Amino acid sequence: MSAESRGGARRCLPLAALLALSLANGAAAQSPGQVEVVLDGELYVVRASAQVAADQRVVWETLTDYGRLREFVPGVTQARVLWRSGNHLTIEQIGVFSVVVLDLPVKLRLAVQHTPYTNVLARLVTAPLEVGESTLRSFTGRYSLTPIILPQGPGVRLDYDASFALAQPLPPIIGSLFGIHAVRRTMHEQFGAMLREIERRQAAAGERDG
């Protein structure tokens, strides 16, 4: 595997379309964001939040731009909408997650429910994938958008909560020593990429309006 491929592998986590997301270098964040990761048995529990100086519609449209996630979320190699009816969608996402010397392929299908401009809820679909078996045994994730007032004007508090378990748990020594660190690092990178894309789109919207 090339150095470039290894770098891409280290940056991907099955947090979809999300569902996806970080804070360490989030240029759009107006105050330091927070990412918490804990391991409860075999279940990873993730909480992340940030305040962004952006229009709520811009934040929403960035989070739900599933077809372009791979363009701005590190490590996501494919994300596509398989089905949609109103605010209910089925999404498939593919990528790679790396822990130490293990490269774990990410393959999952999600049932997503939109509450426009305020919530995105995603749950794992257990139906067989076109690309093989899901690499997760369970997954739930939620984005919440709350309007706030920042010193420079209106903004959004973006919260992300997720929990997931791997279909094949990591070996105990690797999971306990490196699993949480790898998840936390990847969350920082992916959420930071999402925040930077929100900032970029907000700046572009401002230029158009100006």
- Spans of all domains in the chain: 3-209
If you ran DSSP here, which 8-state letter would residue 176 be given?
Answer: I
**What is residue 185's predicted lDDT score, i.e. its pLDDT?**
80
If you ran DSSP here, which 8-state letter would residue 139 be given?
Answer: E
CATH number of 3-209: 3.30.530.20
For a pLDDT cut of 90, what percent of the chain falls above it?
Answer: 48
Q: Among 73-87, 160-174, 186-200, which stretch is predicted with the lowest mean pLDDT?
A: 160-174
Q: How far is CA 138 from CA 10, 27, 78, 102, 179, in A?
A: 21, 32, 20, 20, 17
Q: How far apart are CA 74 and CA 95, in angstroms?
A: 9
User: For residue range 98-139, what is the model confidence (pLDDT) as tens digits?
Assistant: 665 566 677 889 999 999 999 999 999 976 655 556 678 899
Cβ atoms 19, 141 nearer than 8 A = yes
For tokens 């804070």, what's the residue? 23
For tokens 């401002």, what's the residue? 206
Cβ atoms 9, 71 nearer than 8 A = no
Which pairing describes strands 76-85 and 43-52: parallel, antiparallel, or unpaired? unpaired
**What is residue 79's predicted lDDT score, i.e. its pLDDT?**
93
Radius of gyration of the chain (CA): 17
Cβ atoms 150, 53 nearer than 8 A = yes
Mean pLDDT rounded to a whole number for the chain: 79
The confidence band for 25, taking pLDDT boundaries of 50, 70 and 90, is: very low
Give the dihedral sign, CA 116/159/180/198.
positive
